[in-house]
Amino acid sequence: MKKKIILWGILMVLVVGVIGFLLYQSLFSKEDSREPDIPNLFTDQDSKLVFLLQNKEVEITPGEVHGIAFAMRNEFDIYSNFNYNIEYVHSTFSCQISDKSYFDSWIESGWQDSIEIEGDEHFGIIGFNIPRGAPNPCTVRYSLNVTCISGGEDIPYASEFFEIIVV
């Protein structure tokens, strides 16, 4: 009888261990990663910079914090250094504001950075916080400008625009 209890105990420990291992694998496996499949974002072979936005635009409600994800491709065969920054381009007449600093203040994080890319791609997020009371409807165009550092100089590498539509 004692042997049976010991065998059942060992069997239960093994079953619980296998179930725990399978649960761990399903939660933390690379196949279930929440990060986008960056290589598949570059549908255009010449594209160096893409946004995870449909039609390069996003609708944001005042008072809402929102992140805009982007991916950048390193077209060089070696480890490379890049700088990027977000720049206000213009806003529509319906915004009734033309102050660049006002629209720059919407950028909460990721507005500029220096990055080193050892592999093929880099993934980043730009955080926006549209203040309550922001004019709406209002469309604001920003540009993500990337330079490659070569010989101590910033050489233009890629630039893409995106629009925030305040609704």
Q: What is 8-45 written as a DSSP string?
A: HHHHHHHHHHHHHHHHHHHHH-GGG-SS--GGGG--ST
For residue 33, the model assigns a pLDDT of 45
9-34 per-position pLDDT tens digit: 776 766 666 666 655 665 555 444 44
Averaged over successive runs of 10 residues, the pLDDT of the chain (167 residues) comes to 74 65 56 47 68 80 85 76 86 81 84 72 84 87 86 82 87
For residue 34, the model assigns a pLDDT of 46
Residues contacting 5, CB < 8 A, separation 6+: none
For residue 100, the model assigns a pLDDT of 84
Task: Give burial (CB, 10 Å; 0-12/13-18/19+) of 71.
Answer: buried
For residue 58, the model assigns a pLDDT of 85
The structure's pTM equals 0.68
For residue 28, the model assigns a pLDDT of 53
Instruction: Assess contact for 146 and 158: CB atoms under 8 A.
Output: yes
